[in-house]
Structure 1
Amino acid sequence: MSENLLEKISSQTMKRRTFLKWTGAVAAPAVLGGATVANKLVPSPAAAEGTAESVKVVPTCGTLNCGGKCLIKAHVKDGTITRLSTDDDPRDKNADSLKFPQIRACVRGRGYRRHVYHPDRIKTPLRRTGKRGEGKFKEISWEEAIKEIASESTRIKEKYGPASRYGIYATGQTGQIGSGDTLIQRLLACDGGFLGRYSNYSSGQHGAATPYTFGVGSASSSLDTLVDSKLIVLNGFNPAETIFGHFNVYLRLAKKAGAKIYIIDPRNTDTAVGLADDWFPIKPTTDNALIAGMAHVMFSENLQDQAFLDQYCIGHDEEHMPEGVPAGESYKSYIMGVTDGVEKTPEWAAKVTGLPAHKIKQLAREVASTKPMAWIQGNGINRHMNGEQLSRGGSLVAALTGNIGVKGGWAGPGAAGIAKYVAFPSIENPTGLSIPCFRFTDAIADGENMGTAEGVKGLEEGQTLPSNIKMIFNIAGNALINQHSDINKTIELISDESQVEFIVTTDLYMTPSAKYSDIILPTCTFFEQSDFVPPWSYGQHIIMSQKVIEPLFDSKTEYEWMTELARELGVEQQFTEGRTQDDWVKWIINETRKEQPDFPTYEQLKKTGIHKYDFEPVIAFEAQIKDLKNNPFETSSGKIELFSKDLWDMDNPEEIPAIPKHVLLEEGAEATTKGKYPLQLIGWHSKRRTHSSYDTSDWMEEVEGNIMWMNPIDADERDIKEGDLVKVFNDRGALKMPVKVTSRILPGVMAIPQGGWFTPDKDGIDTRGSINVLTTHKATALGHCNPQHTNLAQAEKA
């Protein structure tokens, strides 16, 4: 790209068609939830790209936190990406390959070019000049930035101890070596240590809960086994929009093979519209009440798989309980009203969930009588205040119906991982301390009083953290402000320079989080660096993300500038081990080939970009079900624990029950505060963003605007019409955004697509629909996790 053209792109806000004309952008139409996007993102004329001889096609991969990790083919002419194409694997020419499906880009992937060539990219290092959050910065050199970061990091380490330094949860780059989140922890480990973290915002509750049922965190089969399912129930799961590990490919194949697909969700999602045979709308947080009503039908009509329960489970009835628990505490006793005097009939469940009793009975009978049946817990249920219990509830359904350890059945959330590789090596953190990632604001305000009860790992009972968080590295992330809960409260905390004394951010754009930084560094897109990119843990492929173009402006890769910082701190050799970023990509491939001789070489991956594994189906717990005596579950009982003695011993039955039952929540469906804030508010992952990435993209705005959903009944009560600007508020804050009035959402529920960039007006009211203005800082009880789908709010015409 010429200097003149680059200057124009970087300094002007262009109309989309002008930009397309200048840079030859292209994105093919995509099918989204059964509806084809209007032909607004269309191929440029062939002449705009150049002749075949002048264009080089380079396979690469997006490294943002999207589960698909799709193959992207960049068409490059004279150092400029002229257009993008995607996977065209001939092994899947009929779109029915179980092992080698085409890993094709969705509409977001096809819009990557706007991401790299957007005129609003940060172009040079910046230092804050005004108050934190004012957005006032001045340009500085890389040398100045590195020296200041090194000086502040050393000062804070020496004054407060190494555990005062924290790398915040960040997923803007998720490759093996290019992930700055991984790299900053490696660098700080070389320099004496840091406060680590564990869990995540998306599936933390699943990870915390599943071991209490199965003894391990991984409890699901490989995606190809869905083709053997006769009934698939997606519980709070919307893969058509989230592109969740290419689940859609296998759901389509399962449907083609005759499977029914049911959706349980407050929204009639794009997945439901495109794939489902039936939609079962229920109120948020009430999934376990639905399951209880279904269990009552099963127990009353003797539909449960009693032989499976008696042989493989504990806690389902009074005859199969752990020692030391009083009578009347089994799951069946809870369902039949022995425990609390309330029978969990379908009629009881209907009042709680909003789903008619006859639909609960229908679902119960079909789930119990159709085998194999896959009940799949999505991350939608996981982000609730009771997400751990909802996660356990889905596994309970699988046990009640005997659908564990069989092909086409399903045991727990997610799917089995197929991709095997040697990972980029980490360096042990000398402090040995880590906190739940969602509780970083607690560690800023009161870390010195946080101990094991608050989820801190690495402490003895009675000990607390040695320091509050005093320095934050926010590396390609937006959770410092935008993606964390209660934005107004978080801003108040982050703005106080006596709390966090220094904040470093790297990013492509001036995000809401970047505005609250002391130093901002311009980073690179995946097109501008090499990396090795596995999909989310259940992926069936690996992609080498090749460098396609030279870094734009004055940007550096995370590895490049951290190497400079390591040199300034005197730990360069330990940090790099003498390798460049590309050397590490080769190292991973070579080390992987030592264990897998048929794994492609570096040169082969440069040509193909992708390796798809030839694998045998993985059936979760098949060994245990075939031979429990020699392959017990890794629980204390050696069985599937529908009643957990470990949870019972925590002695917190209202928040952490020993069985997966319906619990009352402060902002749940039955909350007593509903007089003031009568509507439940949930978020969803829209097709136009990956978390908060692409919110700046005008192309993605054409795909889908930032619009709240509301049922016509609720809208009529408030004199709200389609397209009106609506104010949504609670005690934590307020936002304004346009509304879609639709029967595709349950009455009493509002839904806002998560990830909109916090954009307050002069009164502090958000104007971009940033849902975390309204969400709570309070973490979940068991896993100390993200509760951002459990909220009460009110709405009125703005």
Structure 2
Amino acid sequence: TRRSFLKWSGVAAGGTALVASTTNLGMPGSGPKAAAEGLADADKTVWSACTVNCGSRCPLRLQVKDGTVVRVLPDNTGDDSLGSQRVRSCVRGRSIRHRIYNPDRLKKPLRRKAGTKRGDGQWEEISWDEALSEIATKMEGIKEEYGNEAFYINYGTGVLGSTMACSWPPNETAFARLMNTWGGYLDHYGDYSTNQITQAYPYFYGDWVAGNSLDDAENAQLQVMFGNNPLETRMSGGGLTFVTQQTKKASDVRTIIVDPRYSDTTVGIADEWVALRPGTDAALVAGLIHVMLQEDLHDQDFLDTHCVGFDEDHMPDGAPENASYRSYVEGKGTDGTEKTPEWAADITGVPATHIRSLAREIAGAKPCAITQGWGPQRHANGEDASRSIFLLAAVTGNIGKVGGGTGAREGGVGLPIVKTFNTSLTNTDSNKIISSFSWLDAIDHGDQMDTFNAGVLEKPEPGVRAGKVPVDDEGNPTNIKLDVPIKMVWNYGSNSLVNQTGDNNASVEILQDESKAELIVTCDIQMTVSARYSDYVLPGTSTSEENDIHPGENATPMAYGIISSQAIDPLYECRTVFDICGGLAEHLGVSDQYYDGKDREDWLRDAVKATQAEDPDIPDYEDWKEMGLFRKNAGSVISLQEFRDDPEANPLSTPSGKIEIYSDRLARMAEKWTFDDFRPELVGDKLNPLPEYTDTWEGVLDSRESEKYPLQLIGHHYKQRTHSSYGNVDWMQEAHHQTAWINPIDAQERGISNDDDVFLYNDRGTVMIGARVTERIAPGVVSLPQGAWYTPQPSSEITPPPGANPEMPVDTGGNTNTLTSLHPSPLAKGNAVHTAIVQLVKA
């Protein structure tokens, strides 16, 4: 396979890395100079970028010879100082040629063969005119019968880091522009990464609030990171590996990481690892605060002046007696349970003595930088987990301080890129919006979904991340419903039809029912798992085949952006998504509105001009295009500093203007929300006015009491790929194997050794994969890295283990979502895919 791939692509697969490889395979250029500076006889070197959704944007310098990308070089500008650092790409970006010239690369438009099911892999090649004409005709039929609410842009962030080729958020995509010329579409709020925390923010801080940037930790006495793993999730120069390592090196700030897994960040910068059970962060925080209250270690002055709901003296009007957080901790609330360290230890697995010492250390550090990643909130109780970590920052008085933090994900600075093409038309025909995780429900039973049972909300103002709960004149929640199910799904730069969404087998069953979704169109550069389950597959272009602008993220204190230039002609019959949607616009009769007299390059120039109005330091388009990477030192982020200094003059956007530890709005919503309309077998969902600990369905208690499924399953982000992007790249598969992480205690009970093949299974599916036996995962927990490509094998070919569902295929790709649920979290209706229980046995 490797030899035929090399011959087919016309380039050496080893050309990006080792000099020996370039010499052995007969490529021009060798020796140390070639390794550092590239090939001396390349025709050109072009600035490009890796645009996948790791939270970074890294420049790549592509060397081209005879119309082919032959070598990939990193950023050669900047230095090794924070604020002007080089934006070095990680191993994924350096292997990008293996995405451009991949055996899975799409070449021509494809139509699913008549009489076959979605997912059967039976395709016929058709012309672009056939594809666009047929899709447009089907769209017209759907609009006539169901209206524009039946059209949905699927969640997908595979091209998040671009402007013209952007795949998310929906209203910044080319297809959204097309639909906005043609009556609109059903939008979604939130995202798979942050659904729960995004919806938690309004009921605590009023709006999205970042934490202090990680470089500010040099001003802290202590850094505490809950489920935050930047050295693995944002490991490139455009991310936070350099920032965190240099900050630690300069200040030696003591760092504690709270995580079920001993992550790469723990390896790289931590002084202490606190291994807790998944989904129990709110219980740990309650135990910590109990100690602080007993020993008078909390910041009562900050709580009195800046917060509502911590104690009975500072509750909103009309709140029940003993409904404050202090009453909850002291056992005076409705559950009557005191949240002692012993109580927390039983739930979290962290010893009570350790909880006491942690509480004293966190409260005694002045200041303490508290942040959280997005793993803790990706649970069935994730909204309250995230609010509890916010609360810890408030109770210790660290909000708005230099060296402190809000308890949120670290903040970052960026260039204010104005995407004029994407935002100059808006969806004005529909004010309804669903959670990004609810789209399969909206296909299956959309006309039964409303605000109270499924989180159907009002569309927010542009730039606001969370949807708005409709309310009456007195602030009580009111109900709106969807009129029709989703009938067409547009899926661009996304592997979230299947693979990145919960419960792969249930997802496939819904998608294969053509009486539900009548039209599914995928546009991508590869035949992904999701593309298999489509009716039409349209071959898009990679970043190397187009011009674009890429706003950088998370390299704070540096802000930067990249303009990439087309390095090679589009391969095969591939087209840019701008042109594809333009072709659809012509067939639908709205091309004049879609183009607005501008081609792709005109829109890019227009974006730079609009951005210069926001930031006069931005260079002109042609100058920026020549330099490739533009950077500036924008300084650290200190969140809510003005609010801390004067809360009266700088109120938050909450109803009280203060931090709302007790949310009156959530209390009112709890009276209306229902949770068992669609999946009554999963119990434990509830809305809490306080950031309480709730043991939900398939949580700690279920795993303890279940002989059938005694292990909790999580799916950590893995350096082999970004979500599923790069998941089919041979270099990355060779460097980083997909394995199930299991603690030696659990492995010994099952007779499992390192590298043994194992089955993981529950009622939703079965996975067969190799085992990694390691003390880097807490006992009772299994971690199967998320994003591996779902590869179902019929049970007739691989016999599932006793106890597994014999009707389900066995996934040999090791995809976490073969085992997770489509059941959403209670408030955000987000993907609770870190909440699952499984059994693991030797294969």
TM class by smaller structure: over 0.9
Is 1:388 matched up with 2:366? no
The residue type paired with residue 11 of structure 2 is W
Is 1:475 matched up with 2:492? yes
Number of residue equivalences:
775
Which has the higher mean CA deviation after the structures are superposed, 242-251 or 549-558? 242-251
Which has the higher mean CA deviation after the structures are superposed, 621-630 or 605-614? 605-614
2:678 is aligned to none
CA distance in 2, matches of 1:796, 1:212: 43
1:157 is aligned to 143
From 189, 201, 214, the equivalent of 2:192 is: 201
1:614 is aligned to 633
CA distance in 1, matches of 2:151, 2:205: 35
Q: Which runs of 5+ in 2 are unaligned?
A: 460-469, 471-477, 672-683, 796-808
1:702 is aligned to 734
1:748 is aligned to 780
Is the 2:239–2:555 contact (alpha carbons within 8 Å) kept by the matching residues of 1?
no
The SS at the match of 1:138 is strand
From 122, 144, 148, the equivalent of 1:136 is: 122
1:784 is aligned to 829
Which has the higher mean CA deviation after the structures are superposed, 321-330 or 607-616? 607-616
Q: CA deviation at 1:249?
A: 2.3
1:5 is aligned to none
2:521 is aligned to 504
Q: CA deviation at 1:521?
A: 0.9
Is 1:47 matched up with 2:29? yes
1:71 is aligned to 59
The SS at the match of 1:441 is helix
The SS at the match of 1:22 is coil
The residue type paired with residue 725 of structure 1 is D
- 1:619/1:661 CA distance change after superposition, 3 Å: same
The residue type paired with residue 158 of structure 2 is G
Q: CA deviation at 1:423?
A: 2.1
Q: CA deviation at 1:556?
A: 0.7
From 407, 411, 425, the equivalent of 1:415 is: 411
Is 1:690 matched up with 2:722? yes
1:220-239 paired onto structure 2 within 5 Å: 220-239=211-230
1:9 is aligned to none
CA distance in 2, matches of 1:360, 1:185: 49
From 226, 245, 255, the equivalent of 2:248 is: 255
Is 1:626 matched up with 2:645? yes
The residue type paired with residue 164 of structure 1 is A
1:662 is aligned to 693
Is the 2:713–2:781 contact (alpha carbons within 8 Å) kept by the matching residues of 1?
yes
Is 1:522 matched up with 2:539? yes
Is the 2:413–2:634 contact (alpha carbons within 8 Å) kept by the matching residues of 1?
no
Is 1:188 matched up with 2:175? no
Is the 1:481–1:512 contact (alpha carbons within 8 Å) kept by the matching residues of 2?
yes
The SS at the match of 2:312 is coil
TM-score by length of 2: 0.88
Q: CA deviation at 1:659?
A: 1.4
Q: CA deviation at 1:87?
A: 1.9
CA distance in 2, matches of 1:137, 1:624: 58
The residue type paired with residue 413 of structure 1 is R
The residue type paired with residue 436 of structure 1 is S
1:362 is aligned to 357
The residue type paired with residue 137 of structure 2 is S
Is 1:464 matched up with 2:481? yes
1:266 is aligned to 260
Is 1:176 matched up with 2:163? yes
1:541-620 paired onto structure 2 within 5 Å: 541-620=560-639
CA distance in 2, matches of 1:42, 1:269: 37
* 1:108-154 CA distance string (max 9 Å, x none): 11111111011221111111112221110011111111111111111
The SS at the match of 2:737 is coil
1:374 is aligned to 369
TM-score by length of 1: 0.93
2:76 is aligned to 88
Is the 2:29–2:40 contact (alpha carbons within 8 Å) kept by the matching residues of 1?
no
The residue type paired with residue 842 of structure 2 is K
Is the 1:404–1:410 contact (alpha carbons within 8 Å) kept by the matching residues of 2?
yes
Q: CA deviation at 1:379?
A: 0.8
CA distance in 2, matches of 1:756, 1:198: 25
Is the 2:213–2:410 contact (alpha carbons within 8 Å) kept by the matching residues of 1?
no
CA distance in 2, matches of 1:604, 1:708: 48
CA distance in 2, matches of 1:524, 1:242: 25
The SS at the match of 2:302 is helix
- 1:468/1:255 CA distance change after superposition, 3 Å: same
Q: CA deviation at 1:46?
A: 5.7
The SS at the match of 2:772 is strand
CA distance in 1, matches of 2:165, 2:14: 25
From 318, 321, 324, the equivalent of 1:324 is: 318
Is the 1:230–1:371 contact (alpha carbons within 8 Å) kept by the matching residues of 2?
yes
- 1:247/1:372 CA distance change after superposition, 3 Å: farther
CA distance in 2, matches of 1:42, 1:363: 56
The SS at the match of 1:155 is helix
CA distance in 1, matches of 2:617, 2:769: 53
CA distance in 2, matches of 1:232, 1:588: 39
The residue type paired with residue 242 of structure 2 is V
Is 1:219 matched up with 2:210? yes
- 1:26/1:230 CA distance change after superposition, 3 Å: farther
Q: CA deviation at 1:17?
A: 7.7
CA distance in 2, matches of 1:324, 1:616: 44
CA distance in 2, matches of 1:39, 1:656: 60
Is 1:304 matched up with 2:298? yes
Is the 2:561–2:630 contact (alpha carbons within 8 Å) kept by the matching residues of 1?
yes
Q: Which runs of 5+ in 1 are unaligned?
A: 1-11, 30-37
Q: Percent identity?
A: 41
CA distance in 2, matches of 1:39, 1:452: 61
* 1:207-226 CA distance string (max 9 Å, x none): 11012111111232334322
1:345 is aligned to 340
From 529, 535, 542, the equivalent of 2:552 is: 535
* 1:166-216 CA distance string (max 9 Å, x none): 111111212111125511111111112211111100011111101211111
2:287 is aligned to 293
CA distance in 2, matches of 1:607, 1:462: 53
The SS at the match of 1:131 is coil
* 1:390-448 CA distance string (max 9 Å, x none): 11111111111111111111102241443212123322212233211100011001111
Is 1:674 matched up with 2:658? no
Which has the higher mean CA deviation after the structures are superposed, 275-284 or 623-632? 623-632
The residue type paired with residue 716 of structure 1 is Q
CA distance in 2, matches of 1:63, 1:690: 10
The SS at the match of 2:204 is helix
Q: CA deviation at 1:258?
A: 2.3
1:435-450 paired onto structure 2 within 5 Å: 435-450=434-449
CA distance in 2, matches of 1:403, 1:536: 25
The residue type paired with residue 181 of structure 2 is C
- 1:59/1:157 CA distance change after superposition, 3 Å: same
- 1:39/1:407 CA distance change after superposition, 3 Å: farther
2:467 is aligned to none
- 1:685/1:15 CA distance change after superposition, 3 Å: farther
The residue type paired with residue 708 of structure 1 is A
Which has the higher mean CA deviation after the structures are superposed, 61-70 or 699-708? 61-70
Which has the higher mean CA deviation after the structures are superposed, 327-336 or 441-450? 327-336
Q: CA deviation at 1:329?
A: 1.6
- 1:469/1:21 CA distance change after superposition, 3 Å: closer
The SS at the match of 2:610 is helix
RMSD of the alignment, in Å? Answer: 2.3
Is the 2:715–2:816 contact (alpha carbons within 8 Å) kept by the matching residues of 1?
yes
Which has the higher mean CA deviation after the structures are superposed, 678-687 or 638-647? 638-647
The residue type paired with residue 276 of structure 1 is A
Q: CA deviation at 1:78?
A: 2.5
The SS at the match of 1:726 is strand
Q: CA deviation at 1:536?
A: 4.7
Q: CA deviation at 1:53?
A: 5.6
- 1:137/1:564 CA distance change after superposition, 3 Å: same
